[in-house]
A and B are shown apart, each in its own frame.
Chain A
Amino acid sequence: MAAAAPEIAAPTFSDVDRSVLRVMQAPGVLYWVWIAFCFTLVAIGAGFWTRQIYTGMGVTGLRQPVMWAVYITNFVFWVGIAHSGTLISAILFLFRTRWRTAVYRAAETMTLFAVLTAGLFPLIHLGRTWFFYWLLPYPNERYLQPNFRSPLVWDAFAVSTYLTISALFLFMGLVPDVASAREQAHGWRRAFYAILALGWQGTDRQWRHYSMAYLLMAGLATPLVISVHSVVSWDFAMAQLPGWHSTIFAPYFVAGAIFSGVAMVITLLVPMRKLWGLEDLLTPWHFDNLAKVVLLTSLVVTYSYATESFMVWYAGDPVEQMTFHMRYFGPWGWMFWMMVLCNCVIPLLLFSPRIRINLAVLWIISIFVNIGMWTERFVIIAGSQSTNFEPSQWAFYRPSITEIMITAGSFAWFLGLFSLFARFLPIISMTELKEGITWLRQALRKDYAKAA
């Protein structure tokens, strides 16, 4: 902290506030057009869902024996996206990682909305959506309770816990920031921020409890985030179905989740940085480290693919081998190879430091990763069911317009909510940037950018 005297180095605390708060100024027309676009898509998706509820699941492309496909794929995909947020905000917080400060708020916001999106799909895919609450334990005259042995009930618990905790975590983190926003705001905004800020003044008493609570939340969120995607993976691993039943699923899905999540963070941050002029807060240093995480998780995922295939070969069970043969070379085989390309091959580029800080390339890679991870879930979920134990029941799945539009709607829903948040609440944590201002300063030094 030698260099903490404000007049010495830039950026100063107020520079940080300025750059962050600038983003929150009244948005322009284009922004509202974008928002309108997103929510129109959402409306269309909602329309298709309504139709599905009204006429029956038959309007989807689902069939014997593929009972789950795009909906559950989306569910897993979005839950996965959510994970990186908690990773960056909680796990890296515990590791006292220095580069997280600039990116964690955006990541956490993404988490919240991704979980909100993911949470829709278990409802959408239910045959009788209107009875979804039967999955929760609630007192009723017939003492009917959910079956706690069912992974879907674990899901219900895990995902709702995750939603609650990440929301609390996000809003706790927001408190000091909205407090400083409050000081700059007028009119309804001032009231809005004042409410969110809970009358925060940064007194030593507030900080003392705040830091402790935040630390513990991080400590709780860390195992939670791992458990959530493990539980999601167990939706499949618990089955005996070849291609689903595999012990490696839990860590493999967690890694995959972080992989896709961090990629999504990059996908969101790169344009944000450009559009809202955040170059002096989101430096190559940050992206360099995000890219490293992507690379690492990509390698873990590759390891999992490899182990899975190896073990299928090693175990020598013809049924499983056939399933994997179909996964590689069946009608949907091209998806498998696309997945390998996107998740295992393309990320290898990130071994090069120059690519890691070349934001354009990095952005494109991150999009490939997103595609790849969606594909992975689809290949695992729909593909494995198609080639089940019962050859007479083999059949392959084709999505219908309903699934396609609802999926599109979900993306719009996510982006729309995120965009709303980003312009009305601090999308980068001023407090933590100030706290770690030394690292930011160093990161902004030209020579680092070269070194990275």
Chain B
Amino acid sequence: MTANSEPVRPAAPRASRGARGFAPLAGNSQRAVLAVLVAAGIAGFAAALERGEAARAWQAYLVNLLFFLGVAQGGVVVAAAFYLTQARWAGAAAFRLAEAFSGFLPLGFLLFWGLYFGRTLIFPWVLHPVAQKAAWLNTPFLFARDGIGLLAMTLLSTWLVRVSRSRRARAWATDSSDIAMPPPAIRRLAPALALAFAAVYSLIAFDLVMSLAPVWHSTLFGAYFFAASFLSALAAMALTAVILRGRLGPANAFTMPKVLHDLGKLVFAFSVFWIYLLFAQYIVIWYGDIPVETFFIVQRVYYAPWAPLSYAAVILIFVVPFVVLLGARPKRTPPILGAVAAGVLAGIWLERYVLVVPSLSQHVVPFGWIELLISLGFLGGFVLCVITGLNMAAAAARWELPAEGH
């Protein structure tokens, strides 16, 4: 192992330079494409409002916001989790990769406020208040609490990311030969972030998803929601890793089979965890047979047009990863891992869609150019925001190879 850990120490300075100079994803052409996507998205949104399709536009807006916020925030929390479990199997690269998505957080925070303008079309209870829930479901309180929550998350995340990119943290991350703990700042930040994540994203789940069907409630829903966000971040990491590995030199963290293997394991494990949380809710509601709970499921799982979509989501998020990633070899095979991860991401987007939209339009699946453009717009925006971070990840993967630990 000493043999393996040799290159790391002297590599550190080069790495820092690399982080500035070495940028495999910074091509102007790519940025241009992304910019176009963003533009298209905005245009699509505007057009929708223009044509009186505002409701659909806002639904698509909400779905994408939930999805990309989930990925971005989930990423940082993954990093935090790595710190808490002292997971140094991929050296600094894993941390950089996880943190990369945090670039979207500020934008996401702004976009959240956008909901304010669509509130009448998104939240049924704005126009028809629910008497006994008015204390909780009212516009000012909702935007206040969620706004503050998201702000706190954004600040905490940025802070953690900054600390985590510090030299000391990088040194700790690349050498797993001891049982020392991460630098003190991180030791305090990581748990704080994790806790805040649980709290704030439960709120988001209750307010931005559950409250769309004001009669319905499920205690596990918050945890389920943020666990799914966590999974989406892991999938995004796996996908990015697979994309990056080709674009870097021959020897980088992502070409190490062990690293892909571990990413694959994580995706596998958390997709199983996701289905567990889903099942835990489903069986309780199915068995309990209490109408105010069942209707939400029945709408989505028993009747067209939503049933097929729900099944598709489950297949993409659970069935495929479970079957495919069961063995060790597929996990180590980049194309397979990449494809599965992409599937999971698509699945989670779909899942958000199925959670949100039926509450607002029970009988038709609104999907057309509006949804498409808006989603592409979000995608473009997201990638634009995270490119810098991804470059850092690439650099780390290239220059800060993990030490061979146990």
Asked whether the complex places CB atoms of A and B closer than 8 A, the reply is: yes
A285 contacts B284, CB within 8 Å?
no
Q: Which residues of B contact A47 (CB under 8 A)?
A: none
Q: Given A307-B219, A315-B217, A448-B179, A251 and B277 touching (CB < 8 A)? A: yes
What are 5 A-B pairs at a CB distance below 8 A?
Answer: A237-B287, A238-B287, A247-B280, A299-B195, A314-B136
Given A2-B1, A238-B284, A247-B285, A97–B85 Cβ distance below 8 Å? yes
The 7 A-B residue pairs whose C-beta atoms are closest, nearest first, are A316-B132, A248-B219, A250-B280, A247-B220, A248-B220, A247-B281, A238-B287
Verify if B290 is at the interface (C-beta below 8 Å from A). Answer: yes
Name A's interface SS: helix
Q: Report the Cα distance A246→B136, complex, angstroms.
A: 20
With A and B bound together, what is the CA distance between A238 and B286 in angstroms?
A: 9
Which residue of chain A has its CB nearest to the CB of B404?
Answer: A1
Question: Measured between C-beta atoms, what is the minimum distance from A289 to chain B in Å?
Answer: 10
A238 in contact with B288 (CB, 8 Å): yes
Question: With A234-B283, A311-B217 as given contacts, are A240 and B179 in contact (CB-CB < 8 Å)?
Answer: no
Cβ contacts under 8 Å, B277 to chain A: 251
| A2-B1, A251-B280, A316-B133 as given contacts; A245 in contact with B288, CB under 8 Å | yes
Give min CB distance, B185 to chain A, whole Å. Answer: 15
A229-283: which residues lie under 8 A (CB-CB) from chain B? 230, 234, 237-240, 245-251
Known contacts A223-B272, A247-B219, A248-B220: A307-B280 contact under CB 8 Å: no
Known contacts A230-B280, A238-B284: A285-B218 contact under CB 8 Å: no
Task: Note all chain B residues with C-beta closer than 8 A to A5.
Answer: none
CA distance A234 to B87 in the complex (A): 33
B residues apposed to A, CB below 8 Å = 1-2, 85, 87, 89, 132-133, 136, 177-181, 195, 198-199, 202, 206, 217-223, 272, 276-277, 280-281, 283-285, 287-290, 292, 406
Contact B272 A443, beta carbon cutoff 8 Å: no
A99 interface contact, C-beta 8 A = yes
Query: A302-322: which have CB < 8 Å to B?
Result: 303-304, 307-308, 311, 313-316
B222:A234 contact, CB within 8 angstroms: no
**Nearest A residue (CB) for B405:** A96
A442 contacts partner chain B, Cβ-Cβ < 8 Å: yes
Give the residue of A98, A226, A311 whose beta carbon is less than 8 angstroms from that of B219.
Answer: A311
Contacts of B1 in A (CB 8 A): 1-2
Is A131 part of the binding interface, using a Cβ–Cβ cutoff of 8 Å?
no
Q: What is the CA–CA distance of A97 and B405 in the complex, to the nearest angstrom? A: 12
Residues of A within 8 A of B276 (CB): 226, 230, 250-251
Question: Please, how many angstroms separate the alpha-carbon atoms of A62 and B219 in the complex?
Answer: 30
Closest chain A residue to B206, Cβ basis:
A314
Q: Contact check: which of A96, A251, A315, A442 meets B179 at CB < 8 Å?
A: A442
Query: A237 and B284: CB pair below 8 A?
Result: yes
B284, A247: Cβ atoms closer than 8 Å: yes
Query: Is there a chain B Cβ closer than 8 Å to A26's Cβ?
Result: no
A247 contacts B136, C-beta separation under 8 Å: no
CA distance A99 to B178 in the complex (A): 12
CB pair A436 B406 closer than 8 Å: yes
A315: nearest chain-B partner, CB-CB: B217
The interface residues of chain B lying within 8 Å CB-to-CB of A307 are 202, 219, 222-223
The answer to whether A439 touches B219, judged by C-beta atoms less than 8 angstroms apart, is no
